[in-house]
Amino acid sequence: MSNSTVSFKTDLLKHHVRYYGWLPFCKKRKELAQPILKCGRHQRSLRYFTFCAVSAMDVYMLNLEHVISSDSNKPFKNVTFFDKNDDLVEETKRGIPGATGFTGDFTKLVLTDNDDADEEWEGVKSSDLLDAPSDKPDDRHTRKEQVQTAKRFSLSMSFPYDIINLDLEGYVFRPGDTFPGEMIRALRHVFRWQRRSLRLGIDLKEKNFGYLNGFTLMFTTQVGPENLTDEYLAALRQIIDENIESDEQLASILEERTGTKEADKLQSQDFDEFFQIAIPKQLAKMLMEEDWCVDPNSGIRAFAFERQYDGGSYRMLHFVMHVNRQQPIRDWRMSKDPTSEAREQYGKVVRKIFDEPVDFVTDGSLDKQKLGEHIKRIHSRSKKYRV
Amino acid sequence: MERKIRVGEKALAHLSRGLYRSPASALRELVSNAWDANATSVRISTGYPNFYEIRVSDNGDGFSRRDFETLMEGTREEIGGIGNSLKRSRSVQLTNNRQIIGRLGIGMLGISQFCPSFVVTSKVKGERGFSARVRLYDLLKQQLDSDSEEIVSPQAVDVGVYEFVDSDLSKVPVGTTIYADDVHPTFIQSFQTSCSAPDFEEPSLDWSENIQHFSRQRTLQELGHYWRLIWELSLACPLPYVNSKALPEGLVKQDNDRLRRYDFEVFLDNIKLAKPIHLCGNEHGYTCYAIPRQEKRTYGKPVCYHGYIAVQEGHQLQPDELRGILIRIKDVAIGYYDTSMLDYRYNEGPRSRWVTGEVFISDGLEDALNLDRESFNRFHPEFRELQNYLHETLQHKIFREVYKKLDQRSEMRKEVRKDYHATILREVVQSSSEKKVRFKSIKGTAKDKPDREVRVEGTDSGMTVAMPDVVVYKTKKSARDLARAIFAIYEISQKKNSPTERQRTFYDLIQKLLFRW
């Protein structure tokens, strides 16, 4: 999702996050994924889903660093991206040829009236959804319905991915959104879709690579909005309170870090800190509910920086984490609740979130030379591929 | 008293429902529009592999909001509206010696065949630009047939609506973009299905690899819709060849240079298109004929053309779609290769499947074009002029040469076969004799009635087998070598001492011979 006021091609604050946050995690993901990249004789590459901007800096970076490999025919065929409008999608495709682009509003595409719609798609192909209906006229309304359903299907069937980068650029909770918020609901679908087994066409045949046992998630959001309703605030406070209730030591850790052990006081005294603590917990909790769990060894690495604009400043938060599938997977368990091991790991992750402060990046803390050189290499890479 | 015949507006309105045979034809029209607008680059995005949106953008001159209104509705000052192209009514100078392609201004509606609603964005240099949503009516045929008052009036027939859309066009470059986001589900389904077939191979960004892929297919139907779209579009558009040696003997070098000078590129899903033709490496070579520039006149009108015909000797062209003659008017293909070769009346058997050719019309034949720009009125005098020339050339020059080469190859094959049979006989006979066996020929023809017998003479050092020319034997030609070989074996076996030995030797040698023959 693009923000036209910042040049992502050269912005060092953002690149610090890419270089020190995203890149090490993605390289680790490549290492962790090695055993599952094979299906018999066939090898696949890592698959990457991103909300990259037109500059596609993250894509080029991962290509430069050999995390996502190029296919000589279609260099970025393992990349799927989303953008707001067709101009941006087209421009991005020129930059990363072979990538699949989806146009439009991500949440509007992902969400339907029926949150269990995915369950009905077993054995369905997207072309089936486009069959001419016997009882409806060939008009715009009918066509739009068909195509929207098929498009959603195509997006969902493109999952799972080894690395997912949800770089929102805006707010995770949008003004006017009904609780729990469209993006949160959409994320649940994404985590559900990640549970699918991976089937790819290789050498003219479909190969089943099985379920992913893990993936890497990057998540970016702006802190706010300022007028977040009580419903949302209450939900975020509840997450912190729940954690504290389940682990006594967390209260003292929180107090040591923020000066208070009460979520509501934290919210009123330091909203940014409150948000920075609550959001990753929200993510970790959602993942656990969807049969995943954040890896407790690496935890959730968090970065933040401020951006200035005419009216003031705003804060961006970046999270990156490894996510593991609960074992045995939900389909093979009697109970659909999270496993005890997952709960335990969740507890450890939560403690780390309390324990480890956000890496606050400022202009003064940047290694400008190193980052600048790396950016130059990425720009050279982009020139190599642009059509 | 003479009276006028009018064509009803409904006729044209029906045309807007569907004029083109394939999506490639509709896209070709948009490419032609871009050409006419002096674009140097056209980018088509099909949304592959999902095909939910189609986008065609060019960096041409664009057109103004007023021109668009005139195109859509017509005004009192300018007779516009769909079908009344402004391109021909105004004198327009195109860049790089290009000639105007489009003539009726219905090209833009071509895309509506598979996408009834789309957004047109266009910007002229120095102007703000505009964006408009165009929406053709659903169920148009029913409304036309029933003379629905909503769309049929005494003055005109409405086929849809359009409205200007407020958008920030400050960053939009000069040119035109058509963004089709209401692609028909049937179109999407067809293309998705073709790309998910088990044997589907992804097209390459390297055009020469795509040409190789085309040439491995017997017919393009085997490749599915998406590959067909690539083929048809690359064939139809005024594009260069993959290189100057795309055809043998430099047949297209000059045309390729000319096409490159137009400075016009078309990309489909980031694949840079070129003509999908590359003939090389045929075992028996090619018969090539460069059609020199012809300047004729029919009923006072000029008909000028040049081109080439190439015959792939001994092998059927692949894919099938490359067979026949393709006519280009101003470098834009009219339909596909015509396998009838403009209704060539002689049956050349399988040789006709070896022929491919292109004719570049630089003047004339536009009046002979049918409305879809994919076929001709076969009885138009200008078409007949071209047809007569081509048929004359095919019959008296091309196929004459082809048959000559065919005979030469046939003779060569006979010689090779003869040598081969002689070698087998020699080896079989030698294998059964401890002495050296020598073969020699007895010259003669059937007319002289010479001896048909094979003579075998044995000496201490070896055996000599004297064999007459095969022509003395009254058998089918293909059986003569075998007949002589059998007689030779008979005579050789007769030299054995006892009947038993003679019989055994005969049986043994005949079996060996026939096993290897």
How many other CB atoms are found less than 10 A from the CB of residue B346? 11
pLDDT of A169: 76
Segment B161-184, tens digit of pLDDT: 899 999 889 989 999 999 999 999
Calculate ∠ Cα B217-B220-B224, nearest 5°.
115
Q: Looking at the complex, does the CB of residue B17 fall below 8 Å from at least one CB of chain A?
A: no
Please state, in angstroms and rounded to a whole number, the distance separating the CA atoms of residues B154 and B152.
Answer: 7
Q: Shortest Cα distance from A259 to chain B (angstroms)?
A: 48
pLDDT of B285: 92
- The answer to whether the beta carbons of residues B46 and B187 sit under 8 Å apart is no
- Please judge whether A146 and B185 are an interchain contact, meaning their C-beta atoms are less than 8 angstroms apart: yes
Q: Which of B177, B40, B39, B203 is nearest to B111 (CA)?
A: B177
Tokens representing residue A315 in the block: 């804060």
Q: Which residues of A touch B177 (CB under 8 A)?
A: 87
- Please judge whether B205 and A132 are an interchain contact, meaning their C-beta atoms are less than 8 angstroms apart: no
- The answer to whether the beta carbons of residues A16 and A371 sit under 8 Å apart is yes
Q: Shortest Cα distance from A19 to chain B (angstroms)?
A: 30
pLDDT of B257 over the 60 cut: yes
Q: Shortest Cα distance from A139 to chain B (angstroms)?
A: 5
State the residue for tokens 């006709």.
B352
- The answer to whether the beta carbons of residues B132 and B163 sit under 8 Å apart is yes
- State the Cα torsion B142-B145-B150-B156 to the nearest 10°: 130
Is the peptide bond preceding residue B198 cis, with omega within 30 degrees of 0?
no
pLDDT of A3 over the 50 cut: no
Q: Looking at the complex, does the CB of residue B133 fall below 8 Å from at least one CB of chain A?
A: no
Q: Write the residue in A103, A144, A154 that is nearest to B53 by C-beta.
A: A103
Q: Using alpha carbons, list the distances in angstroms from residue B229 to B43, B54, B261, B331, B430.
A: 14, 13, 25, 19, 62
Segment A122-139, tens digit of pLDDT: 677 777 889 999 899 888
- Give chain A as a 3 state SS string: CCCCCCCCCCCHHHHHHHHHHHHHHHHHHHHHHHHHCEECCEECCCCEEECCCCCCHHHHHHHHCCCCCCCCCCCCCCEEEEECCHHHHHHHHHHCCCCEEEECCHHHHHCCCCCCHHHHHCCCCHHHHCCCCCCCCCCHHHHHHHHHHHHHHHHHHCCCCCEEEEEEEEECCCCCCCCCCHHHHHHHHHHHHCCCEEEEEECCEEEEEEECCEEEEEEEEECCCCCCCHHHHHHHHHHHHHHHHHCCHHHHHHHHHHCCCCHHHHHHHCHHHHHHHHHHHHHHHHHHHCCEEECCCCCEEEEEEEEEECCEEEEEEEEEEEEEECCCCHHHCCCCCCCHHHHHHHHHHHHHHHHCCCEECCHHHCCHHHHHHHHHHHHHHHHHHCC
Q: Which residues of A touch B45 (CB under 8 A)?
A: 90, 93
Could you tell me how many residues make up chain B?
Answer: 517
pLDDT of A344: 94
pLDDT of B140: 63
If DSSP codes are grouped into helix, strand and coil, which group holds residue B275? coil
Please state, in angstroms and rounded to a whole number, the distance separating the CA atoms of residues B84 and B66.
Answer: 15
Q: Shortest Cα distance from A88 to chain B (angstroms)?
A: 11
How confident is the prediction for chain B on average, in pLDDT?
87
Please state, in angstroms and rounded to a whole number, the distance separating the CA atoms of residues B310 and B354.
Answer: 8
Residue B509, strand partner residues: none
Tokens representing residue B228 in the block: 């067909």
pLDDT of B9: 62
Q: Which residues of A touch B192 (CB under 8 A)?
A: 126-127, 130
Tokens representing residue A224 in the block: 């706010």
pLDDT of A122: 67
Tokens representing residue A374 in the block: 């790396």
Residue A1's pLDDT band (cuts 50, 70, 90): very low
- The answer to whether the beta carbons of residues A42 and A10 sit under 8 Å apart is no
User: Which chain A residue is nearest to residue B116, measuring alpha carbons?
Assistant: A140
Tell me what the mean pLDDT of segment B209-229 comes to.
94
- The answer to whether the beta carbons of residues A92 and A50 sit under 8 Å apart is no
Tell me what the mean pLDDT of segment A97-115 comes to.
87
If DSSP codes are grouped into helix, strand and coil, which group holds residue B148? coil
Q: Which residues of B touch A75 (CB under 8 A)?
A: 205
Q: Which residues of B touch A150 (CB under 8 A)?
A: 52, 185, 188
- Please judge whether B205 and A73 are an interchain contact, meaning their C-beta atoms are less than 8 angstroms apart: yes
Tell me what the mean pLDDT of segment A340-344 comes to.
94
Q: Write the residue in A87, A127, A201 that is nearest to B189 by C-beta.
A: A127
Q: Looking at the complex, does the CB of residue B55 fall below 8 Å from at least one CB of chain A?
A: yes
Helix axes A340-355, A230-246, angle to 10 degrees: 110
pLDDT of A84 over the 90 cut: no
Q: Each residue of B302-315: b (16+ CB within 10 Å) or e?
A: ebebbbbbbbbbbe
Q: Looking at the complex, does the CB of residue A204 fall below 8 Å from at least one CB of chain B?
A: yes
Please state, in angstroms and rounded to a whole number, the distance separating the CA atoms of residues A55 and A378.
Answer: 10
What ipTM, to 2 d.p.? 0.87
Please state, in angstroms and rounded to a whole number, the distance separating the CA atoms of residues B494 and B500.
Answer: 11
Q: Which residues of A touch B186 (CB under 8 A)?
A: 130, 132
pTM: predicted TM-score of the whole model, two decimal places: 0.85
Q: Which amino acid would we find at residue B333? A: A
How confident is the prediction for chain A on average, in pLDDT?
89
Tell me what the mean pLDDT of segment A262-289 comes to.
93
Calculate ∠ Cα A298-A303-A307, nearest 5°.
170
How many other CB atoms are found less than 10 A from the CB of residue B261? 12
If DSSP codes are grouped into helix, strand and coil, which group holds residue B309? strand
Please state, in angstroms and rounded to a whole number, the distance separating the CA atoms of residues A291 and A312.
Answer: 41
Q: Looking at the complex, does the CB of residue A94 fall below 8 Å from at least one CB of chain B?
A: yes
Segment B266-299, tens digit of pLDDT: 999 999 999 999 999 898 999 999 999 999 999 9
pLDDT of A52 over the 60 cut: yes
How many other CB atoms are found less than 10 A from the CB of residue A149? 17
- In sequence order, the 6+-apart residues with CB closer than 8 A to the CB of B229 are B22, B23, B24, B27, B46, B191, B268
- The runs of H, that is alpha helices, within B114-252 are 140-145, 185-195, 207-215, 225-236
- Please judge whether A139 and B185 are an interchain contact, meaning their C-beta atoms are less than 8 angstroms apart: no
Q: Shortest Cα distance from B213 to chain A (angstroms)?
A: 13
- Please judge whether A86 and B53 are an interchain contact, meaning their C-beta atoms are less than 8 angstroms apart: yes
Q: Write the residue in B172, B182, B206 that is nearest to A143 by C-beta.
A: B182
Tokens representing residue B188 in the block: 């999407």
Q: Looking at the complex, does the CB of residue A203 fall below 8 Å from at least one CB of chain B?
A: no
- Please judge whether A94 and B57 are an interchain contact, meaning their C-beta atoms are less than 8 angstroms apart: no
Q: Which residues of A touch B53 (CB under 8 A)?
A: 86, 103
Tokens representing residue A210 in the block: 């099985």
- Please judge whether B205 and A100 are an interchain contact, meaning their C-beta atoms are less than 8 angstroms apart: no
pLDDT of B4: 61
Segment B80-98, tens digit of pLDDT: 566 555 554 455 678 887 8
Q: Looking at the complex, does the CB of residue B253 fall below 8 Å from at least one CB of chain A?
A: no
If DSSP codes are grouped into helix, strand and coil, which group holds residue B306? strand
- Please judge whether B202 and A73 are an interchain contact, meaning their C-beta atoms are less than 8 angstroms apart: yes
Please state, in angstroms and rounded to a whole number, the distance separating the CA atoms of residues A238 and A233.
Answer: 8
Segment B342-387, tens digit of pLDDT: 999 999 999 999 999 999 999 999 999 987 788 999 999 999 999 9
| Longest alpha-carbon distance in chain B | 113
- In sequence order, the 6+-apart residues with CB closer than 8 A to the CB of B254 are none
- Please judge whether B186 and A132 are an interchain contact, meaning their C-beta atoms are less than 8 angstroms apart: yes
- Please judge whether B185 and A143 are an interchain contact, meaning their C-beta atoms are less than 8 angstroms apart: yes
Residue A4's pLDDT band (cuts 50, 70, 90): very low
HSE-up of residue B402 (Cα within 13 Å, Cβ side): 25
Segment A216-233, tens digit of pLDDT: 999 999 998 888 889 999
Q: Please state which of the ranges A233-242, B106-115, B383-392, B491-500 shows the lowest mean pLDDT.
A: B106-115
The residues in B 72-131 lying below 8 A from A, measured between CB atoms, are 116-117
Calculate ∠ Cα A282-A316-A324, nearest 5°.
40
- Please judge whether B205 and A146 are an interchain contact, meaning their C-beta atoms are less than 8 angstroms apart: no
Q: Looking at the complex, does the CB of residue A199 fall below 8 Å from at least one CB of chain B?
A: no
- In sequence order, the 6+-apart residues with CB closer than 8 A to the CB of A2 are A53, A54, A83, A84, A88, A169
State the residue for tokens 């479909």.
A206
Q: Which residues of B touch A2 (CB under 8 A)?
A: none
Q: Looking at the complex, does the CB of residue B193 fall below 8 Å from at least one CB of chain A?
A: yes
Q: Looking at the complex, does the CB of residue A134 fall below 8 Å from at least one CB of chain B?
A: no
pLDDT of B152 over the 80 cut: no
Segment A296-318, tens digit of pLDDT: 999 999 999 999 888 888 999 99
Q: Shortest Cα distance from B181 to chain A (angstroms)?
A: 9
Tokens representing residue B386 in the block: 């071209």
Segment B394-410, tens digit of pLDDT: 999 999 999 999 999 99
- The answer to whether the beta carbons of residues B359 and B330 sit under 8 Å apart is no
Q: Shortest Cα distance from A102 to chain B (angstroms)?
A: 8
pLDDT of B435 over the 90 cut: no
Q: Which of B418, B405, B390, B412 is nearest to B478 (CA)?
A: B418
User: Which chain A residue is nearest to residue B206, measuring alpha carbons?
Assistant: A73
Select the residue from A109, A127, A129, A200 to test the B interface by mutation, using most B Cβ atoms within 10 A. Answer: A127
User: A32 or B148, which is more confident?
Assistant: A32
Q: Shortest Cα distance from B275 to chain A (angstroms)?
A: 19
Q: Looking at the complex, does the CB of residue A201 fall below 8 Å from at least one CB of chain B?
A: yes
